[in-house]
Amino acid sequence: MPTLLIEDPIFQRHVMPEGHPERPARLQAIAQVLGQEGFAALKRESATRADPRAAELAHPARHVTRVLTAAPSDDFHFFDADTPMSPESLEVALHALGSAMRAVDAVMTGEVANAFVAARPPGHHAEKETAMGFCFFNNIAVAARHAQQAHRAERVAILDWDVHHGNGTQDIFWNDKSVLFCSTHEMPLYPGTGAAREQGEHNTIVNVPLSAGDDGRVFKEHLRDAILPRLRAFSPDLILISAGFDAHVRDPLANIRLTEQDFAWATEAVMEIAAIKCRGRVVSLLEGGYDLQGLAFSVGAHVNMLMKG
């Protein structure tokens, strides 16, 4: 079965103020790499728009309404200093949400082996009731709930290797023993959460902080010792990846020294567990990554490894 790639020019219509790192050029760089001959076997689809109320799978109605009514007719609405919404941002965000759900559908029904969604805005910083950190809705949390409600997945595991802690995903699943959330991230760094002691009400939160300057050797060691065993023991029906690539050595927003080969290794390690525990079912959603070359090369390595599954 093929790997599904969801990409669409609509994701470049989420316009940011000049100089903002979460910019449309990120997806242009990814598209250039994934357009190469080596990726010809991908099953490619355009974005799917979610019904706005699908966001209520992970957020209370008041938060969804707050985001839906914030869209400006011109200029920007700022949820915080880092999280602007431009006139087309809401429509783009709904397509990101719908594409995450479509990827889950395709993987859970066996239509494809696995999937990568090259969408923006990202989602893992969006808490239950707070848009923040470039994120309006928590795409991966909605994807997990959709897998549970539409496909009867009893247990969903989320691995977040973005260099910034997925505080929103942790917030949403803090009290939920049916979702395992594992995160490796730099500390101290935005948003300030993600200490190892943060374990959730049912010990289903696994935070493995990295320190500035840590490289691929340390990253792999932490995954092997602390995260991969938890993924195996949880025996998930689906593994979701919050695939941020801002831990790359070239990235300007952090201080971890990973290379694209490290992301390929991590992808392969997750796929080995998925092959044993959940019929290879993996859905990966783009999160951060702000150096265009580091992002493009890392996504290429990540998707190439997915295709080998």
For the stretch 96-154, pLDDT in tens is 999 999 999 999 999 999 999 999 999 999 999 999 999 999 999 999 999 999 999 99
φ/ψ (deg, to 5) at 85: -120, 125
Q: Give the single-character DSSP code of 102.
A: H
- Tally Cβ neighbours within 10 Å of residue 58: 28
What lies within 8 Å, CB to CB, of 127 at 6+ separation is 138, 167, 168, 171, 172
The pLDDT assigned to 217 comes to 98
Active site residues: 125
Instruction: Provide mean pLDDT across the span 72-78.
Output: 94
The pLDDT assigned to 184 comes to 98
Quick one: which of 140, 50, 46 has its CA closest to 94? 50
- What pairing do the DSSP bridges indicate for beta strands 179-186 and 156-160? parallel
What's the pLDDT tens digit per position in 235-259?
999 999 999 999 999 999 999 999 9
Q: What is the rounded average pLDDT for all residues in the chain?
A: 98
The pLDDT assigned to 68 comes to 96
What's the pLDDT tens digit per position in 261-292?
999 999 999 999 999 999 999 999 999 999 99
Its pTM stands at 0.98
The pLDDT assigned to 109 comes to 98
Cα–Cα distance measured from residue 207 to residue 227, given in angstroms and rounded to the nearest whole number: 9
- Please check the confidence at residue 309 and state whether its pLDDT lies above 90: no
Cα–Cα distance measured from residue 2 to residue 282, given in angstroms and rounded to the nearest whole number: 12
What's the pLDDT tens digit per position in 190-238?
999 999 999 999 999 999 999 999 999 999 999 999 999 999 999 999 9
The pLDDT assigned to 94 comes to 98
- Please check the confidence at residue 174 and state whether its pLDDT lies above 90: yes
Quick one: which of 265, 271, 278, 266 has its CA closest to 306? 271
The pLDDT assigned to 256 comes to 98
In degrees, rounded to 5, the angle at the alpha carbon of residue 214 between the alpha carbons of residues 19 and 227 is: 105
Tell me, rounded to whole angstroms, the distance of Cα 260 from its chain centroid.
17
The domains of the chain, with CATH numbers, are: 3-307 (3.40.800.20)
